[in-house]
Each structure stands twice: as C-alpha cells, then as structure tokens.
Amino acid sequence: MSDDCPKCEEGLPAWLATFADLMSLLMCFFVLLLSFAEIDAVRFKKMAESMKDAFGVQREIPANEIVMGTSVIKQEFSPSTVQEPSPIDEIRQQTTDIEQQNLKVNDAVMDAVARKIQQEVEDQAEQLKEKLKKEIDEGLVTVETEERKIIIRIQEKGSFPSGSASLDHGFEDVMKRISDAVAQAPGRVVVAGHTDNIPISTSRFRSNWELSSARAVSVAHALMKNPAIDPARVVIEGHADTAPLAPNDTPENRALNRRVELIIERGEDREGDETLLIRDPANRPSETVQ
C-alpha cells in the first residue's frame, strides 16, 4: 500500500511561510500599540494596592520612587491626563544671584554669632576660675568649657561627707560665689549628681541613684538661695555610676567620679542669647538667628 500513497515534497509546506509572516506582522502590530500606550501612575498604584488587599499574599516592599511609565519611542514620561495631581510632577528650584548673596550673608552672620557666644562662654569660664582659684588649687572644684557649655565640677572632697547628701558648712561660701557667677551667665543650668560604682544601701539611700540625685538637689537648693537665679532655668539629674570620668579601678579614680556637675548651657533657644534680624537687600526680614 505504500506504493499507492503519493510522495510528499521535500521541505516545509508552503502555507507555513504565510503563517510565519502573519505572526510577525501581529507581533509588530502589538509592539507598536505598546509603544504608543500611556501609563497612569496614580491608577496603576491604586490598582496594585487593590490587588494586594484582595489577595492578601503580596509581600510589602518599600519603594523609594513611584512606578513611572516610559515611552519606548520618546524615551520620556508621558504625563497622565487625569485631573487629580500625579506623583510624578517635578518641581524645579532655581537660586537667583540675590538669594545666593543672602545665603552667604546669613551664614556669615550665624558664624559670627556662634563665635561671639563661644567667646562669651570662655570669658565667663575664666571669670569663674578667678573667683574659685583657691578651691581649684586645692582640687575641690574644676571649671571647664565644652563647646557652648561651662562645666563646674564639685568633687566630694570638701563638699559632702562620705555617703551623705548634706553640704559641708565650710562649702557654703564657695556655693555663694558659684551662684553669683551662674546668675550672671545666661542659659539653662543642669545640676547632675554622680557616684562611683561601689553600691550603697542605707536607711536613707537605697542605691547610688538616690545618693546622686539627693546631692544634686542639695546643690540646686544652695544655688537657688540666690534670688537672681530663676528656678525655671534649673534642671536636676541623678546619674549614679553611669557616667564616670575615669575607670573605677583605683581609690583616686573613684574619688574623681564622686562629683556634682553644674553645667551652664548656652544655645539658640536659651535665655539671654542675643537675637539678630537678618535683612535682604530689599530690607525685608528674612531670618532670625538666636
């Protein structure tokens, strides 16, 4: 029977070439449609959120930028024609020569104010050192500056009996001189108490937290005997042994850590700082610098 079947021609049938041409033309047609298509970023995002809520299986991945549509032909975004604002709107800012000049002037004035405040802090620290020279030489008090802060460290030696929060009577004159200097220096006053790492447990103090806080309160009360000091400026802190100046490995270092610090802070929002009003060339207020 194989002899009765007609012999097929070698190669692919002729209709396959027509079919391949049709598929190629259809692919080109859909690519062309896609290239002219516009993507609405707002609707795309809402649709994606709706799909996520509906299925409840999509993992939330934070995106830095919202998905934007691009045109294959123009290589730029074709904005949506919807009325609601699109997140892909771009705002461009341009700094004029006058604004640049104002920025430079403002920076220069702010630097000048910062240098002035720093100089005042250093001058006040020097005045404190002169008033407390005797106590500084005896190692009872130290005066330091740190940026816009004046730090007066009162050591336990000569100021507090061991394990007590009551100031020695002989230290009252020192506290009076300190309070006079604090009253003249503007800024917030932080009274911070510190101890070493040796635990304490007495009928009055259950821990070093209570001891450090009680000593800070005693110093604060001595300060506020001066009516020129506003109590609203004073803040009391108790740090126990959490902020040592030196390792608690020797008796000398532990004695160094047992202290009360008076920190006079000068800042942009502190009382007594000068306020400067910067004006632009048109004499319009532009910025306030503390």
What's the rounded Cα separation, in Å, for the pair 94 and 102?
14
Strongest mean pLDDT among 53-67, 119-133, 195-209: 195-209
What's the rounded Cα separation, in Å, for the pair 219 and 165?
9
For residue 280, the model assigns a pLDDT of 38
What are 103's two structure tokens?
């920025």
**Do 242 and 128 meet the contact criterion of CB atoms below 8 Å apart?**
no
Instruction: Name which of 190, 179, 183 is nearest 148 in CA terms.
Output: 190
Q: What is the mean pLDDT of residues 245-254?
A: 90
CA 235 to chain centre: 22
Of the listed ranges 48-57, 111-120, 132-141, 275-284, the one predicted with least confidence:
275-284
Domains along the chain?
A: 13-88 (no CATH), 98-265 (3.30.1330.60)
Instruction: Name which of 247, 238, 249, 180 is nearest 208 in CA terms.
Output: 238
**Rg of the Cα atoms in the chain:** 38
Higher pLDDT, 60 or 262: 262
For residue 65, the surrounding DSSP H or E stretch is: none
For residue 99, the model assigns a pLDDT of 60
Q: What is the mean pLDDT of residues 6-24?
A: 82
The per-residue pLDDT of the chain, averaged, comes to 76
Whether 94 shows a pLDDT value over 50: the answer reads yes
* Distances, alpha carbon 171 to alpha carbons 112, 191, 275, 284, in Å: 39, 17, 37, 54
Q: What is the mean pLDDT of residues 122-132?
A: 83
Of the listed ranges 26-30, 40-44, 277-281, the one predicted with least confidence:
277-281
Higher pLDDT, 94 or 240: 240
Instruction: Name which of 87, 154, 148 is nearest 270 in CA terms.
Output: 148
Give just the sign of the alpha carbon dihedral 100, 106, 108, 110.
negative
For residue 238, the model assigns a pLDDT of 93
Share of the chain above pLDDT 90, in %: 17
For residue 106, the model assigns a pLDDT of 65
Share of the chain above pLDDT 70, in %: 69
H-helix segments, 37-96:
41-55
169: helix, strand or coil: helix
Whether 282 shows a pLDDT value over 50: the answer reads no
H-helix segments, the chain:
15-36, 41-55, 97-131, 133-137, 172-184, 208-223, 251-257
**Do 218 and 175 meet the contact criterion of CB atoms below 8 Å apart?**
no
98: helix, strand or coil: helix
* Distances, alpha carbon 95 to alpha carbons 91, 103, 152, in Å: 13, 10, 46
Q: What is the mean pLDDT of residues 141-165?
A: 86
224: helix, strand or coil: coil
Binning pLDDT at 50, 70 and 90, where does residue 239 land?
A: very high
155: helix, strand or coil: strand
Provide CB contacts within 8 A for 101, sequence distance 6+: 281
Whether 35 shows a pLDDT value over 80: the answer reads no
For residue 288, the surrounding DSSP H or E stretch is: strand 285-289
Binning pLDDT at 50, 70 and 90, where does residue 67 land?
A: low
Whether 172 shows a pLDDT value over 70: the answer reads yes
Q: pTM higher than 0.85 for the full model? A: no
